[in-house]
Amino acid sequence: MNGNHGKNPGCVNVLSVSFLQLCFVSFNMSVAVRSLGDNPVQIACPQCHQTVLSKVDHSAGLLTYLLCGGLFFCGFVLGCCLIPFCVDRVKDAKHTCPSCKTVLGIYKRL
């Protein structure tokens, strides 16, 4: 019974397999998020199990703040650096289900 403290190949295998599964799942999730864009998409809602046209809300994302900072350092002071906050094209797009309001995914610019 005490002889089981040595190398246990089965244990290592389980670890590496779960690590690979973790990589695979996170890869799949990033692909799912990437496939969303600016525009509403037809998507199956995991919450209410209906095929719905997603509702898109734009919110300031990383790119918005970077552009704001960039414009600020280029001399666009006095409010001009806030222009990115008015342009949906540089914002993140959040897709929600119109019927149950579940967040289906967020399209990030960066």
Instruction: Give residues in contact with Zn ion (CB under 5 A).
Output: 45, 47-48, 97, 99-100, 102
**70 or 98: CB nearest Zn ion:** 98
Q: What angle do CA 42, 22, 104 make, to 5 degrees?
A: 20
Token digits of residue 73: 């350092």
Min CB(51)–Zn ion separation in Å: 10
**Least distance to Zn ion, CB of residue 102, Å:** 5
Which two structure tokens, joined as six digits, stand for 93?
């797009």
Say how far apart CA 105 and CA 110 lie, in whole Å: 15
Choice between 8 and 99, CB closer to Zn ion:
99
Question: CB of residue 67 vs Zn ion: minimum separation in angstroms?
Answer: 33
Shortest Å, Cβ 96 to Zn ion: 8
Collect all residues with Cβ–Cβ distance below 8 Å to 37 and sequence separation of at least 6.
93, 107
Tokens 């990437």 locate to: 34
